[in-house]
A and B are shown apart, each in its own frame.
Chain A
Amino acid sequence: DAGVIQSPRHEVTEMGQEVTLRCKPISGHDYLFWYRQTMMRGLELLIYFNNNVPIDDSGMPEDRFSAKMPNASFSTLKIQPSEPRDSAVYFCASSLRSRTTDTQYFGPGTRLTVL
C-alpha cells in the first residue's frame, strides 16, 4: 500500500491567492482527517470525514477554509483567499474504524508558505 498521498509537498503562494491541497487516503479507509501543524499551536484537527461526509469541522479556522471529499479516494482542502498566517504544514490522515483498532495513518504533509 502506498500510504496516504498528499500533493503538493510544498506550496509557495502570495497573499490573496487561492490554495488547494490534495489528499488520497489509504484504500478502504472510511475516515479522513485534515490537520494543521504550526510552531505556535502545534497539531490541530481541522475537519474530518466519515464515508465522504463531513462530520466535524469545528476546527476550521474561518470561512476562508473549506474541505471536500467527492469520493472515497480523494479530498481537498482549499484556502481562499490565503493569508500569511495560514503558513503551516497541513497533514492528511486516514483510518479504518473497527472494534479493536482505530489508528490514523498520516501523509507526508504539505508545507504551505503564504508571502
Chain B
Amino acid sequence: AQSVTQPDIHITVSEGASLELRCNYSYGATPYLFWYVQSPGQGLQLLLKYFSGDTLVQGIKGFEAEFKRSQSSFNLRKPSVHWSDAAEYFCAVGVGTASKLTFGTGTRLQVTL
C-alpha cells in the first residue's frame, strides 16, 4: 500500500525567507502527487499537482514542487514566504482509477514577522 511521510511536524520561518517542506512517498509505480494547504477552520485547497512530464511543477501562490523519482520525494518550495502562508500543508499521493488519496500527517507552518 502507498504511504506518505512528512517528517517535519512544525516549521517556523521568517517572512521573506525561503521555504522547503519535505514529502516522501512509498509506492511501486509513479504516483500522482499533490500538495494541499489548509488554513485554520477551512477545507483543503490544492496548491499544485504532479501527474507526468516536467518534474518541476508550478502552483498557486508562488509555490513550486519538484518530483524526484530517485529519492521518492516531492518537496514543496517557495522562495519568499509571506505571513499569509501560515497554515498546515499536506502532501498526498493518489493511486488507482479514482486517484484515491493517501495524505501525510501534515506540516504546520508558522511565519514570524
**Cα distance, A64 to B34, chains bound together (Å):** 31
Q: Which of B95-112 contact A (CB under 8 A)?
A: 97-106
Residue pair A50, B101 in contact (C-beta under 8 Å): no
Chain A: minimal CB distance from B42 (Å): 6
Residue pair B43, A42 in contact (C-beta under 8 Å): no
CB nearest neighbor in B for A42: B105
Kindly state whether residue A107 has any CB partner on chain B within 8 Å: yes
Chain B: minimal CB distance from A38 (Å): 11
On chain A, the residues within 8 Å of B101 by CB distance are 33, 45, 104
Residue pair B103, A108 in contact (C-beta under 8 Å): no
Given contacts A42-B105, A43-B90, contact A105 B46 (CB under 8 A): yes
CB nearest neighbor in B for A4: B43
On chain B, the residues within 8 Å of A31 by CB distance are 98
On chain A, the residues within 8 Å of B103 by CB distance are 42-43
On chain B, the residues within 8 Å of A42 by CB distance are 103-106
Kindly state whether residue B26 has any CB partner on chain A within 8 Å: no
Residue pair A50, B98 in contact (C-beta under 8 Å): yes
Residue pair B99, A109 in contact (C-beta under 8 Å): no
Q: Which of B20-60 contact A (CB under 8 A)?
A: 32, 34, 36, 42-46, 49, 51
On chain B, the residues within 8 Å of A102 by CB distance are 32, 51, 94, 98-99
Chain A: minimal CB distance from B103 (Å): 4
CB nearest neighbor in B for A97: B98
Query: 13 additional contacts, CB 8 Å, given A45-B101, A95-B98?
Result: A42-B103, A43-B103, A56-B100, A97-B97, A100-B51, A101-B51, A102-B51, A102-B99, A104-B46, A104-B99, A106-B45, A108-B42, A108-B43
25 example contacts (A-B, Cβ-Cβ < 8 A) are as follows A33-B101, A42-B103, A42-B106, A43-B90, A43-B103, A43-B106, A48-B98, A50-B98, A55-B98, A56-B100, A91-B44, A97-B97, A97-B98, A97-B99, A103-B34, A103-B49, A103-B99, A104-B46, A104-B101, A106-B43, A106-B45, A107-B43, A108-B43, A109-B42, A109-B43
